[in-house]
Chain A
Amino acid sequence: NAGVTQTPKFQVLKTGQSMTLQCAQDMNHNSMYWYRQDPGMGLRLIYYSASEGTTDKGEVPNGYNVSRLNKREFSLRLESAAPSQTSVYFCASRTGVNEQYFGPGTRLTVT
């Protein structure tokens, strides 16, 4: 039981490049989330998926897209990376009002 896994762990992009962050959970959770964490700003929700087949915007969705590929997988895509997207990205999952579980994070630097 691996919990929530994320790939890659680290990534450096040039401005304008694109990339996809992958997330998978093996806990059969319905809901999945993408957050970014920046110093002094706390955790901010980018997008979430309340159930397979649905996605919704969070607080800071601009510049990102998501895909809920199936119940296990939820990916985050940066179409044209900007320095303002330099951050640590966390994926999380949960079911109902139960505990939320987090992946180890992806550290992204955009130069």
Chain B
Amino acid sequence: KQEVTQIPAALSVPEGENLVLNCSFTDSAIYNLQWFRQDPGKGLTSLLLIQSSQREQTSGRLNASLDKSSGRSTLYIAASQPGDSATYLCAVDAGNNRKLIWGLGTSLAVNP
């Protein structure tokens, strides 16, 4: 059974730091992995989707990597800003009728 874990559960950093959020999954047979952002009281916004054949995806200051063999993905945020404060969730698509398997998220606080 596919399980997704995100460590740490919470992270607090000063503004300007580069940081890495981690996502691990137990079964390497995935179609893709998706990173989302959720602001308090809001819905989820898709940040990056990495297909199983890809190693990384980049969008602005965000870079997501995927290592299927080790069951890991990282989300790298460069030069963090207070506006990056949110919860970041990862989800894997294992192809089971298009259902996603979710991690519990990492709550990020970037302090001015």
Interface residues of A, Cβ cutoff 8 Å to B: 31, 33, 40, 42-43, 45, 48, 50, 56, 58, 90, 92, 94, 96-105
Contacts and interface: CB of A to CB of B under 8 A. Distances in A.
A103 B46 CA distance: 12
B32 interface: yes
Interface of B: 31-32, 34, 36, 42-46, 49, 51, 89, 91, 93, 95, 97-100, 102-105
B contact face: mostly helix, strand, loop, or mixed: strand
A104 B44 CA distance: 8
15 contacts: A42-B89, A42-B102, A42-B103, A42-B105, A43-B102, A45-B100, A56-B97, A90-B43, A97-B51, A100-B46, A101-B46, A102-B43, A102-B45, A104-B42, A105-B43
What are the 3 closest A-B residue pairs judged by CB atoms, nearest first? A102-B44, A102-B43, A42-B104
A50 B104 CA distance: 24
B104 A45 contact: no
A90 B44 contact: yes
A97 B44 contact: no
Contacts, number: 50
A90 B41 CA distance: 12
Contact of B99 (A42, A48, A98, A99): A48
A50 B98 contact: yes
A99 B46 contact: yes
B17 to A, nearest CB: 26
Given A102-B44, A104-B43, A97 B97 contact: no
A45 B34 contact: no
A100 B100 contact: yes
